[in-house]
Amino acid sequence: MDALKLVKNEVGVSKHLHLTHLNEPTIFELDNGQIGCTLRLSGVPFDTASNDRLNQYKRTLHQAICQLGESYCFYQTTLRRRLDVALENSFPDEFTETVDKLYHAQFQTTPLYANELYITVLYKGVELGKLQKPFQFFQTLISKVMKEEREAYRSQSIALLKKSVKQLMASLSDFHPRLLGEQDASLGYSELLTFYGVFVNGLAPMRLRKPQWVTPLAKALSSLDQEVLRYPEGNLSQYLPTKQLFFGEAIEFRGANQQSTYGAMISLKTYGTETASIMLDPLLHLDCEFITTNSFAIKLNDAAQSTIVKQLVRMENANDPAVSQMEQLVQCRDDLASGRLRVGYHHHSLMLLSDDLAHLQTMINKAVKLYGDVGIVAIQETLGQEPAFWAQLPGNQQYIVRASLITSQNFVDFCPLHNYRTGYRDQNHLGSAVTLIETPSKTPLFFNYHSQGSGDKNDLTPGHTTIIGGNGSGKTVFMGFMDSQMSRYGGRSFFFDRDRGLEIYIRATGGLYSRLCAEASSSILFNPFCLDDTPSNRAFLTRWMTQLVLEPNEASLPAEINTALSECVDYAYDQLDQSHRYLSSVTRLLPIDFPRWHALKRWLRSSDTENHGEYAHLFDNEKDTLNLHAAKVGFDMTDLMHQPKQVLTAVCMYLVHSIKASLDGQRVSLYFDEGWQVLDNDYWKQQLKQDLPTLRKLNAHIILATQSPESVLQSALSAQFLDNCATNIFFSNSNANYEKHYQHFGVTPSEFDFIKKSPREKRLFLYKQANESAIARLNLSCLQDALAVYSANRSTLNLLDKIRSEIGDNPSDWLPVFHQQRRRMQASCA
């Protein structure tokens, strides 16, 4: 019986929730007549932003708040949630599948968090709830008149609120706001109700879903649709709580499955002497979920002026020596009179959340210290725990105990809307992001080569990328790992490799790898005249033969030479059988006085084997053994990079043309290690103007990696590629020079400062797309075996050659042996 009395006397959660109904999907109303809207904002990055940029953001936010009148109350809420980071995990080979499982397993034990930023604008107006009781008798007598007046007042208030919110969103465009409720139809639930529910449910999602029953009171079966479910009838405060709440040493949110989340309220006891927009950014590094709330109730100018005057008089009468404080008050009074700032009551709280009480206490201690580091005295609420908890909800001003009168300039320093970029997960034609990377703040960064699009599989956005990092920076590992993660979406990859850096990785995935040499030791034979007879192939072969006979520093051939070469191509397809269609046979059409025989003979075989041209084995072959059908195909270009430029160009021309001919709409990635050297030729300068847009339309993209930004800028193709580049990756470089190099990549001074000063051993890099950037780290410490696959060295390559010669090319056979013998070698050297 005592238990029954206790239950009856227990105050329900809904008693403290004053949200009654939604006037529109985007507008809520409280039981006292106040109405409001909530915006979600992406925020602005601050880790790579300059001080000038941060100050500009602060001014923008401050001006937006000053535009609101005294009839408004401003709430800023930050939700830090643990993020579900699961991505599609279908891989074509055992190696990449194993790597993905091991890599993403680390995020289950070391959680990542995302920060969600919200602004709630509350139009206070006339508090009808306070007038309701005295006039209850008259309402009964003239209820119709009162109802009409109430509806007219509500309509007027909604119009004023909409106008103010529209103006606020325009002012805050840099912060990328959107109105909660506008996407309810596509989402299938009310964003506004979901937001309001997080406070009383410990961040647990509360989304009304379609019930499995049909009410007999429905007007028609069709009327019971998502519209009714998203916006239930009756007082909404009854629908929001889904957890039991217990207030004690900690706040307990107990779910139906008896699992509990614990919370603690942190409030400000004493403000610091100064504020800055970055002072509370360290809170975004806390290893836990939380909710921060900042409210600002703007005070009437006359009342604020009166308060300032009283304080000045009080200080003068007391002969207060704080001259600087008096000067600040005088300046504040002047700014207030001129409209340069507002004064209002500020309330700040932080609710920390954890599933473990010991971890919660650790986070409490850390949070209090972070406040103390900037001169703010913060305390954990004990007796004031419950009112501090309810005061978080927009519209619950009556629960606020610790409020202080501050200026709007100070207020924006408490909620500057700073955030970390998280990339994008779903707006990708591939289906989702390439992979997930962690940032120093334990927030996730969804990595993509391609720029953001609509998410439609036919919306093929640009994905061309540059990767710049010196020796030992990790760019080779980065390319290999990102390619293996890209494999989740199928497709093919082609590698123009250097020093066999990615050979072990390519072979471990079952791919093909060939070493291209100027000498007759290449493992692959080329015969461009095996291409199908098409107008585009004939045109290409003419351009290709032109490259064979160009003199050094010669950009184009005389017309008569070009015509002669074109006739050779036509002769090959019109007169010769396939078995006789090869370079030395085709060029027999040329006259004996052809002026470029001396250049052409370098590429031709001779009947006298001792007099073969030095590059004859590259192209003058009866057969063509080029195989591009594997999921991953690699070519080691190291030897060709030490040959005359036109040799490298001729080989790359044929390879790239053959790859382009094989494109069929599935995803294709082309990786060029030291690509600026590989493609540094006048031919590519012109060809890339056509190829870069064409490749994008065929779902292909190019990734160029290099050690030095100088090699990029000195390359003939720098302008063409950089203008079409969607993503730039910059690893640390202590020798970086801003004026000579990095400013040409659109890097800001603050981003450059990170590139130059970041310790190489931390493996941090700058990820930049368009005007947005983020600092991230690729943590592969859980992939020790895979690291030996992604980054080859002389000893591991020799070991690979030895094992393959004994066991064969099947990675299921040789890879376990490779790791076993590699570990044994490491142990013997330790």
pLDDT digits (tens, 9 = 90+) for 353-409: 999 999 999 999 999 999 999 999 999 999 999 999 999 999 999 999 988 888 888
Chain Cα centroid distance, residue 580: 54
**Which pLDDT does position 609 carry in this prediction?**
64
**Lowest-confidence range among 277-291, 300-314, 408-422?**
300-314
Q: What percent of the chain has a predicted confidence (pLDDT) above 70?
A: 87
Per-residue pLDDT band for 129 (boundaries 50, 70, 90) equals very low
Per-residue pLDDT band for 221 (boundaries 50, 70, 90) equals very low
Q: Is the model's pLDDT at 503 over the cut of 60?
A: yes
Q: What percent of the chain has a predicted confidence (pLDDT) above 90?
A: 56
Q: Is the model's pLDDT at 799 over the cut of 60?
A: yes
DSSP strand pairing (251-254 vs 260-270): antiparallel
Beta-carbon count within 10 A of 136 CB = 9
The answer to whether the CB of 299 falls within 8 A of the CB of 405 is yes
Q: Which residue has the tokens 């053994």?
A: 625
**Which pLDDT does position 139 carry in this prediction?**
47
**Which pLDDT does position 135 carry in this prediction?**
44
Per-residue pLDDT band for 315 (boundaries 50, 70, 90) equals low
Task: Spell out a b/e string for 749-788, using b for 16 or more CB atoms within 10 Å of the CB, else e.
Answer: ebbbebbeebeeeebbbbbbbeeebbbbebebeebebbeb
**Which pLDDT does position 67 carry in this prediction?**
87
User: Rounded to an integer, what distance in angstroms lies between the CA atom of residue 590 and that of residue 587?
Assistant: 6
Task: Spell out a b/e string for 22-55, using b for 16 or more CB atoms within 10 Å of the CB, else e.
Answer: beebbbbbbbbbbbbbbbbbbbbbbbbbeeebbe
Cα separations in angstroms, 577 against 23, 529, 536, 581, 588: 80, 11, 20, 6, 14
508, 533, 511, 721: which is closest to 630 by C-alpha?
511
- Rounded (10°) angle between helices 811-829 and 94-109: 60
Q: Both tokens of residue 495? A: 């590698």
For the residues 521-529, what does the mean pLDDT come to? 86
Beta-carbon count within 10 A of 701 CB = 23
Q: CB-hemisphere CA count at 13 Å for 27? A: 18
Cα separations in angstroms, 813 against 44, 180, 403, 502, 513: 50, 55, 70, 19, 17
Mean pLDDT of the chain: 86
For the residues 789-818, what does the mean pLDDT come to? 94
Q: Is the model's pLDDT at 758 over the cut of 50?
A: yes
Q: Is the model's pLDDT at 1 over the cut of 60?
A: no
For the residues 750-775, what does the mean pLDDT come to? 87
**Which pLDDT does position 721 carry in this prediction?**
80
Q: Is the model's pLDDT at 318 over the cut of 70?
A: no
Global pTM? 0.85
Q: How far apart are the first and last CA of the chain?
A: 74
What share of residues in the chain are helix, strand, coil (percent, to 5)?
A: 45, 20, 35
* Residue 681 DSSP label: S
Beta-carbon count within 10 A of 599 CB = 16
Beta-carbon count within 10 A of 830 CB = 5
473, 384, 343, 371: which is closest to 74 by C-alpha?
343
More confident residue, 182 or 338: 182
- Rounded (10°) angle between helices 143-171 and 51-66: 160
* Residue 658 DSSP label: H
**Which pLDDT does position 330 carry in this prediction?**
58
**Lowest-confidence range among 366-380, 548-562, 597-611?**
597-611
For the residues 274-300, what does the mean pLDDT come to? 92
**Which pLDDT does position 2 carry in this prediction?**
56
Q: Is the model's pLDDT at 33 over the cut of 90?
A: no
Per-residue pLDDT band for 316 (boundaries 50, 70, 90) equals low
**Lowest-confidence range among 313-317, 376-380, 390-394, 470-474?**
313-317
Four-residue CA torsion sign, 310, 312, 316, 322: positive
29, 72, 175: which is closest to 116 by C-alpha?
175
DSSP strand pairing (764-769 vs 727-731): antiparallel
**Which pLDDT does position 211 carry in this prediction?**
47
Per-residue pLDDT band for 304 (boundaries 50, 70, 90) equals low
